[in-house]
Amino acid sequence: MKKLLFALLAFQVISCTGEKKEPSVASSHSSTETLALNLDEGKGIVNYSDSPHVALKSIDIGDCRWTEGFWADKWKIAEETMVPHMGEILKGDIGHAYNNFKIAAGLKEGEHKGFWWHDGDFYKWMEASTYIYAVNKDEKIAEELDEIISVIAQAQLENGYLSTPIIIRDDIEPFSNRRYHELYNSGHLMTAACIHNRVTGKTNFLDIAIKNADYLYDLFSPKPEHLKRFGFNQTQIMGLVELYRTTKDKRYLELAEQFINMRGTYKIEDDETTKGYPIGDMVQERVPLREETEAVGHAVLALYYYAGAADVYAETGEKALIDALDRLWENVTHKKMYVTGAVGQTHYGRSSRLDKIEEGFIDEYMMPNLTAYNETCANICNSMFNYRMLSLSGDPKHGDIMELVLHNSGLSGISLEGTHYYYSNPLRKIDGALDYEKMNVEFPERQPYLECFCCPPNLVRTIAKSPSWAYSKSQNGIAVNLYGGNELNTELLDGSPLKLRQQSNYPWDGAVKITINECKEDAFDLLLRIPQWAKGTTIKVNGEAVENVTPGQFAKINRKWSAGDVIEMDMPMETKFIEGHPRIEEIRNQVALKRGPVVYCIESADLPKGTDITDVYLSSDLKFSPSYKPDFLGGVTTLDGDILIRNDKTNGMYSVVEQPKFTTYSTHLIPYYAWSNRGQGEMSVFLPIIWNRQ
């Protein structure tokens, strides 16, 4: 009876617009019949195969696999622990996500558990599982996904609606309040289904997504007034564009663009559809995207929005869109991003236009460390946005940010063994400074389960798909975006085969060796991203030096390649002091240490017992040496050297100081992402420094 009522409700919403809608073709197809849709054969994580406004196009999922070193180790943990362990949580009674689908399908008794967006979190885990399957071809993964998909299909309403909290409950109508995150769930459904189709060739999951997208099109395309403010958590834009790329149904692209066009076109006030959730800048609805000049509000919502707009631009080429995205990238990167690539400075605050916001952006250069929120999802979204901007523009500056997040503020969200999680990622921790009992999701240590479970599967799916970020296809060649031991077996855009092997202990060592194993006879380009920090980088091809190697650019080598050709690149990895902009008041006269793409921190486990993190100083006279420790913290390079520990503690809020007294202590700094893996303790990325004035 309830499913019938929902179907009638949807019919009433559509009918009241006065527009006659033709029955959806796609939603009536069976899994076999969907093949008649002439699905696109592109198999990239973002399917740019036919996107006209893209400089670099995705390799196919599975074309690249990590073979040795840093990312091979992380991917192996994802395969063996992260994804299976997370599956046990989400399919069991703790995570309860799979139970929700079973209850909605009538296969199990019970109540919905988890937040409104928990369906989307489950889809992210399914997406991660699909990436793992794309590489290891373990049929048990495919069989399990098929079983889950059959349950999801049974949970879906006849009209295409699919959001388990609403289906299970009897007291809430669909799309009656945007805080229910129905479109967020739909967005992750569509993305996961497209990935599943590209990897497996099956349409069982895709059928569900098509049916849901058709429902959304019929519901939203007439632009009813009471629905204009929905879609604030903008995963549905990416999902719809990906579904358009897969099926070539232009309605999905039109609807994706409509969700952008609707933002900021209505009166900003609380109403029945917004009660219980902040309005205005919090959800990026104060200013239309094409007119926006700064990143505001919830950082995850903002960056999903920007990534979705980048997907739309890839298909339409609208200049106003890319101009806005360039402005917003500049604002985020140069005025609101931490040295670790993290974003979203505060848990609670106000935007520059004085709207109440949560988990997001505040004023420029206002960068607290102890209370920095830096939600793991926001950091991952920053890398997703930059992958898209790299693809659109071909500008390696976006690859630099993608890499920065991956090696720092992304990985810090999960423990080294892959089973415990952080929601927020501060740059400093002081024992007793925060009352965790009064806080919403921050914890003094990583947790085995977060009730708000959006971040863990977002991070795990990113690690699982990281091989597909390592390379992109240029017009006549291949671009190397990420460094690490891997093998690439792909086809260039002209269909010619390319096989190569990359050997490197990056990010601990800047030496990279690439061997061509198979390629076409005609000349083609090899593009090597030279990070902005990598000044002095040298490149040799078969022992001969390559000229014009410039940091912050792709080194373009065009030649007739042959099997056996060897490219050797050496990026000097000096340990460098990093200081903040003068307007970042909290870190005036402080520095962070960075080597290559990795940001370091000091942890109390590496200090004398009883030493407060606030008593640690650096001196410009004291140098640090890198030391690779294969059996420490999963295998890391530490920065070994002397620090200064202040002996005379300050008493009271203010006190008279004469000549501070310091002792020298030999220790090491560790990569920021590896902190909090040795029990509770204090930590800081930025440390006060005493400069030698000579």
Q: Render pLDDT for 554-569 as a digit per residue (tens, 0 to 9).
A: 999 999 999 999 999 9
Q: Which tokens in the block code for residue 11?
A: 């019919």
Q: What is the pLDDT of residue 599?
A: 98
- The answer to which of 40-44, 415-419, 573-577 has the lowest mean pLDDT is 40-44
401-423 average pLDDT score: 97
C-alpha 104/C-alpha 122 separation (Å) is 14
Q: What is the pLDDT of residues 335-351, one digit of tens each?
A: 999 999 999 999 999 99
pLDDT score of 694: 59
Q: What is the pLDDT of residues 592-611, one digit of tens each?
A: 999 999 999 999 999 999 99
> Is the model's pLDDT at 278 over the cut of 90?
no
* CA-angle at 548, arms to 543 and 552, nearest 5°: 115
- Assess contact for 594 and 558: CB atoms under 8 A: no
Element (H, E) at 426: none
Which of the four pLDDT bands, split at 50, 70 and 90, describes residue 625?
A: very high
Please give the Cα distance from 139 to 42 (Å, whole number).
22
Is residue 2 pLDDT above 90, yes or no? no
pLDDT digits (tens, 9 = 90+) for 113-159: 999 999 999 999 999 999 999 999 999 999 999 999 999 999 999 99
Query: How many residues does this entry show for the chain?
Result: 694
pLDDT digits (tens, 9 = 90+) for 250-262: 999 999 999 999 9
Give the pLDDT score at 7.
42
CATH code of the domain occupying 471-570:
2.60.40
Q: What is the pLDDT of residue 442?
A: 78
Instruction: Dig out the tokens for 353 from the structure.
Output: 């236009």
328 dihedral zone (left: phi>0; alpha: psi -120 to 50; beta): alpha
Predicted confidence (pLDDT) at residue 195 exceeds the cutoff of 50: yes
pLDDT (0 to 100) of residue 23 = 29
Q: Do 44-469 and 471-570 agree at the fold level?
A: no
435: confidence class by pLDDT, cuts 50, 70, 90 = confident
pLDDT at 458: 97
Average pLDDT, the chain: 92
Q: Is the pLDDT of residue 662 over 50?
A: yes
Backbone angles phi, psi at 268, to 5 degrees: -90, 100
Question: Taking residues 38-43, what's their average pLDDT?
Answer: 82
- Which residue is listed with tokens 């063996």? 80
Say yes or no to pLDDT of 10 above 60.
Answer: no
Domain boundaries along the sequence of the chain: 44-469, 471-570, 575-690
What pLDDT does residue 3 have? 45
Taking a C-beta distance cutoff of 8 angstroms, is the pair 504, 568 a contact?
no
Domain 44-469, second-level architecture? Alpha/alpha barrel (1.50)
Split at pLDDT 50, 70, 90, the class of 648 is: confident
Q: Is the pLDDT of residue 172 over 70?
A: yes
Q: pLDDT tens, 463-488?
A: 999 999 999 999 999 999 999 999 99
- Amino acid 266 reads Y
% of the chain with per-residue pLDDT over 70:
94
Averaging pLDDT over each range in 6-20, 30-44, 303-317, which range is the top one? 303-317
pTM: 0.93
Neighbours of 448 (CB within 10 A): 11
Residues 6+ apart with CB under 8 A from 201: none
In this prediction, residues 75-82 reach a mean pLDDT of 98
Sign of CA dihedral 626, 412, 681, 649: positive
Please determine, for residue 46, whether its predicted confidence score (pLDDT) is greater than 70.
yes
Residue 493: how many CA atoms within 13 Å on its side-chain side? 19
The whole-number pLDDT of residue 440 equals 60
